[in-house]
Amino acid sequence: MSCNSGMKPRDLIKESLKEKIAPELSKFDFAFSKSALRFSRKWNDFTHVIGVSSSKWNMEDVIVAFNTRFSVSSKRFAKWYLKEYGEKLSNDVIAGEAEWNLKGWNYPEYKTFFKNGFDLAEEKDQERVLDILLTNIVNIGIPFLEKHSDWKVAAERLIKKNWFHSRACDFYLIAEDKAKAYESLKIGEKLPNISFPDEPKAIKFRLKKHFNE
């Protein structure tokens, strides 16, 4: 692959992804949006998104770095939520992680100390950097998306992280597992939820609505 020097960092990232990564991910039914810098596809009830974020430190021909984030969302969840609770969701994300939180994710090594993530500033490094990125996406990122495109798995992930037990309850209800839905609320009820101040109210509301408590 060859990219011209003198390109603005975002343009270089965009063209590199279009040329090298997009054709390979199209084999997995991902479409590339150049304007949004992301790949997306439909997967049963879910939408898979691989988002690309440029570094705020990018500088033409010096740093052209970016990172990726993987997320699963669901229009079905948004419709279910509106019907069940009479209000719109603030977001319909089921699960999401930045690349650096994915076990086994690898980064290229650079000779220059200040480079990190995936950096395309050096033309001779571009092929190697993009190959490593593609391997990560195929072997780690896409399996994460597919694994969490399951209501129960997504709920279990939230409970394990001690996040949003009310949403875990909703996922279990969609999966028609009312016992697990109740259990998730009772677990969340015992937590201080300092980071999520609205969670106690959401848990109490669901206990009353779905379980008459």
Q: pLDDT (tens digit, 9 = 90+) per residue, 158-175?
A: 999 999 999 999 999 999
Query: How high is the pLDDT of residue 1?
Result: 46
Model's pTM, two decimal places? 0.91
- Calpha distance 166→184 (Å, rounded): 7
| Per-residue tokens: 54 | 């440029």
Bridge partner residues of 39 (DSSP): 32, 50
Ramachandran class of 165: left when φ > 0, alpha when ψ lies in -120 to 50, beta otherwise: alpha
Average pLDDT rounded to a whole number, residues 20-46: 96
Alpha-carbon torsion (109, 111, 114, 119), positive or negative:
negative
| 123 touches 2 (CB < 8 A) | yes
In the chain, where are the structural domains located?
9-147, 151-211
At residue 41, does pLDDT exceed 70?
yes
| 51 touches 67 (CB < 8 A) | no
At residue 195, does pLDDT exceed 70?
no
At residue 194, does pLDDT exceed 80?
no
Shortest CA distance to 165 belongs to which of 150, 175, 154? Answer: 154
- Calpha distance 142→24 (Å, rounded): 13
Determine which helix (DSSP H) or strand (DSSP E) holds 39, and give its type and residue range. Answer: strand 38-43
Query: How high is the pLDDT of residue 2?
Result: 45
| 41 touches 32 (CB < 8 A) | no
| 149 touches 46 (CB < 8 A) | yes
Q: Residue length, the chain?
A: 213
At residue 98, does pLDDT exceed 90?
yes
